[in-house]
Amino acid sequence: MYPFKWSAFSYDEWLGALDLATRWSLFDICNKAIHALTILNRSGSKSTIEKVLLAKKYKIDQWLREGYTTLVQQEELKIEDVQMLGWKTVARLFAAKWSLSVSSKCAYKCSEQLRQDAALVQAQVDTILRAERPSYAPSKFTNYITAM
């Protein structure tokens, strides 16, 4: 592919490129689009829900992991978010939240407790991902962060 400037495209243009590259199985372009979209979204311009929905649609495990981690740690979900995510995903998220709330019993958290809580969050997110993995096939461009 010919060289081009990363900043020349907007978020929506990169999303369009990802969509077409996914349809046509152009994995190099998929990786470049995912990388560019990740950089463009570092400002947090897109919601966590949108990130999760795009991750499911385009089979981007890293975005899905980041999105679920944020949602498990988030205080509440709006009814619109629940409707977009679907009841199975929301049930898994609430089960993970409940499991975490039961495990953290002390009011004062030392640094060791915070590390344990972070590990528990990741374990709960891993459980959600394993439960949802059958809903889509593994992708050839899910490990874009380690590949670039």
Count the domains in the chain. 1
Does residue 130 sit within a domain? Answer: yes
- What is residue 104's predicted lDDT score, i.e. its pLDDT? 56
- What is residue 109's predicted lDDT score, i.e. its pLDDT? 54
Beta strand residue intervals within the chain, DSSP E: none
- Tell me the C-alpha distance between 58 and 22, whole Å: 7
- What is residue 30's predicted lDDT score, i.e. its pLDDT? 94
Does residue 1 sit within a domain? Answer: no
- pLDDT profile of the chain (148 residues), mean per 10: 64 94 94 92 87 94 92 88 92 85 56 66 81 56 42
| pTM of the model as a whole | 0.72
Contact between 57 and 45 (Cβ < 8 Å): no
Does residue 94 sit within a domain? Answer: yes
- Tell me the C-alpha distance between 144 and 69, whole Å: 19
Count of residues for the chain?
148
Does residue 52 sit within a domain? Answer: yes
- What is residue 135's predicted lDDT score, i.e. its pLDDT? 54
- What is residue 56's predicted lDDT score, i.e. its pLDDT? 93
Does residue 75 sit within a domain? Answer: yes
- Tell me the C-alpha distance between 119 and 126, whole Å: 10
Does residue 138 sit within a domain? Answer: yes
Domain span at residue 15 reads 6-147
* Whole-number Cα distances in Å, 63 to 81, 102, 112, 139: 17, 27, 27, 13
